Amino acid sequence: MIRIYVSSVIDASADTVWGRIRDFNALPLWHPGIADSRIENNEPSDRVGCIRHFHTRDGGTIRERLLALSDYDYSCTYEILESPMGVANYVATLKLTPITDGNKSFAEWSAEFDCDEGRERELTELIGNGVFQGGFTALKQHYR
């Protein structure tokens, strides 16, 4: 099993950042790699079990299920159901922790998954730097 962990400090309160990223269907509003998104079956985007169906800017189609959402912990956990990346058993968590000194947020994004032997480094780079750090970089720029 591969494990990825990326963290960053965002210059905005956890409440403020959570307000932007909480909506499971809002990836296109804050992540530069996502072109569009919709929640299947017209379910609410904060209902555990809902499935988002989205397209990446490079044309990939991904489906993910929301496994947990906590406004108290500023966190969401989801799994990939379908993806062109070649990952299996993929579960990820995006979490914010308030930094009270300066009213900032400590952001963490982690994932565990299986993949074909020999693809570990490629997928770690793609997900860790491209997806996770790419999202954090966009959030940091938004709150400058």
Q: Are 46 and 53 in contact (CB under 8 A)?
A: no
**Residue 69: pLDDT band with limits 50, 70, 90:** very high
Q: How much is the pTM?
A: 0.95
Segment 27-60, tens digit of pLDDT: 999 999 999 999 999 999 999 999 999 999 999 9
pLDDT of residue 110: 98
Q: For the chain, what are the domain ranges?
A: 2-142
The Cα–Cα gap between 86 and 68 comes to: 23
CATH tag for 2-142 (out of 3.30.428.10, 3.30.430.20, 3.40.50.300, 3.30.530.20)? 3.30.530.20
Query: Closest by alpha carbon to 109, among 93, 131, 125?
Result: 93
The Cα–Cα gap between 54 and 8 comes to: 25
Residue 121 corresponds to which tokens in the numbers above? 């480094």
**Residue 97: pLDDT band with limits 50, 70, 90:** very high
Cα-based distances in Å from 40 to 34, 35, 49, 53, 89: 17, 16, 11, 7, 21
The Cα–Cα gap between 73 and 70 comes to: 5
